[in-house]
A and B are shown apart, each in its own frame.
Chain A
Amino acid sequence: MYKPEHVKRPILAETVLKKKVLLNILEAKVNSQKGELIVSVPLEGEALEDLVRSFEAEGVAVERLPRIVEIDHERCTSCGACVSPCPVSALYFGPGWSLMLDEKRCVGCRVCVDACPFRAIKMA
């Protein structure tokens, strides 16, 4: 989350150059007052902690989105309304058009939560 002073500086680009990490922006809402970015970070362990610290040192608030989406298979009809909106193809059809989830791909963006007409998806 950006504060007003961050909006004027290319913090994300600076961090990408400094840390040489390939961030993927999934959602960005930035105006003159504040900003909120959802980024997927291909890092784990100490490298991830280091990146978080460098953002925090700039005063950017970092929130970790839970990666785990939970599908209520009683409610899910395998309609597919969540499949094409998922930006990373974590939701897909298995055999017989049954909905499947690849947890490792999910970045916790929540797009599927609103896309599901049966409210069958929750963030754990």
Chain B
Amino acid sequence: MPEARGSETLRKYEEINERISRGEATVLTADEFVSAVESEGLEKAAREVDVVTTGTFGAMCSSGAFLNFGHSEPPIKMWHCWLNDVPAYKGLAAVDAYLGATAISESKGFEYGGGHVIEDLVSGREVRLRADSYGTDCYPRRYVETDLTIEDLNQAVLLNPRNAYQRYNAATNSTSRTIYTYMGTLLPNYGNVTFSGSGQLSPVHKDMGFETIGIGTRIFLGGGAGYVIGEGTQHCPQQRFGTLMVKGDLKRMSGRYLRGATFHRYGPTLYVGVGLPIPIINENVARSAALSDSEIFTDLIDYGVPSRERPTVKRVSYAELKSGKVVIGEEGVRSSPLSSLKMAKEVAEVLRDWILEKRFFLARPAELLPAEREFKPLPEKSMAAACRR
């Protein structure tokens, strides 16, 4: 009989945490675990290793922060508000706002956006707040403008609806002109290949069956501790496109792992460092954590075709992508990542060291994330049909 998803047959969370507090836990990064399995075999490695740490550091557009500014005197019910000229969403209570990573500066355009404001805040730099209102009996003020730092805020909570894609499509361009995309600069005539995701270090790929990842999983987020709070938007694990919704206290994160960025002619975004600890609770989890770059595949997509249904050029392994050359037809085409593999490795190492130093313990999720989810396109109903209703 197959084991139930999440069954703790090799070790329980309590045992792992006890071993961590006694300084006896064996913790390896995913890179180290892949090597250990290659040399010792899966069974032995699974018996010996308690936790495998993972990491990724890439552009994650679906990121942002909830901010609470505190009340001015006299108070204002902020209707619109801007941080360094970047608009934040104000359809919330008087001084609550949500600042999205891809929001665009109204004065600097693409060069500065929500992701850059988040980096400035987390790095302790001063940010200019502006807000207007229509004035109410209880909130008479109509305008406020001031400089503030993250210390002045009551709450600054990073809450990202979709992070840490299990894998992402690799990109190339068949057309005769250079295109500038969220997959970076793509040279004409299949001139280069870009890819995202850290392959064998990728957090979600190391627990493909979602046996340990769920609501309440404690993680590395932006240099601090955070939590998985649900499936990410567009979560589609049966296609190997699992995603996570995560949150954490921005005040305890670091500008090293949250970096504002701009893709040329596309717009601003935020690079986020995310790492998950994968407790080796059963053999299935161990098998997934042992997957190497040559066993993790993604699709190489032609971004020259401006459609939802872009053609697949070929299936490609992360080993081939990371080798710096991808074979298309007869040719070897230069490939490079967009997400930093250096920083991904660093995230996995920092998380490993936190655990070894007894500064980070594992949390059993309150509920596992779904292992299957439909991913639907937008239905565009014709206006005629809409009018009949």
Report which A residues bind B (CB closer than 8 A): 77-85, 87, 89, 92-93, 96-98, 111, 114-115, 117-119
Contacts and interface: CB of A to CB of B under 8 A. Distances in A.
Contacts of A80: 336-338, 340-341
A111 B324 CA distance: 18
Contacts of A114: 180, 185, 264
Main secondary structure of the interface of B (DSSP, over half): strand
Interface stretch (B186-194, B233-241, B289-297): B186-194
Given A77-B271, A78-B341, A79-B338, 6 more contacts: A79-B271, A85-B191, A87-B187, A115-B264, A117-B262, A119-B111
Contact of B342 (A84, A96, A117): A96
A97 to B, nearest CB: 4
Given A84-B192, A84-B334, A117 B263 contact: yes
B319 interface: no
B180 A84 contact: no
A87 B339 CA distance: 20
Contacts of B316: none
Interface of B: 57-59, 111, 180, 184-187, 191-194, 259, 261-264, 269, 271, 324, 334-343, 345
Nearest to A83: B336
Contact of B338 (A81, A87, A89): A81
A85 B187 contact: yes
A79 B194 contact: no
A115 B266 CA distance: 11
Nearest to B338: A81
Given A117-B263, A118-B261, A85 B342 contact: no
A115 B59 contact: no
A39 B336 CA distance: 24
Contacts of B339: 79
Contact of A115 (B58, B184, B271, B324): B184
The 10 A-B pairs with the shortest beta carbon distances in the complex, nearest first, are: A83-B336, A117-B261, A84-B336, A84-B192, A97-B342, A115-B185, A80-B336, A97-B341, A78-B342, A80-B337
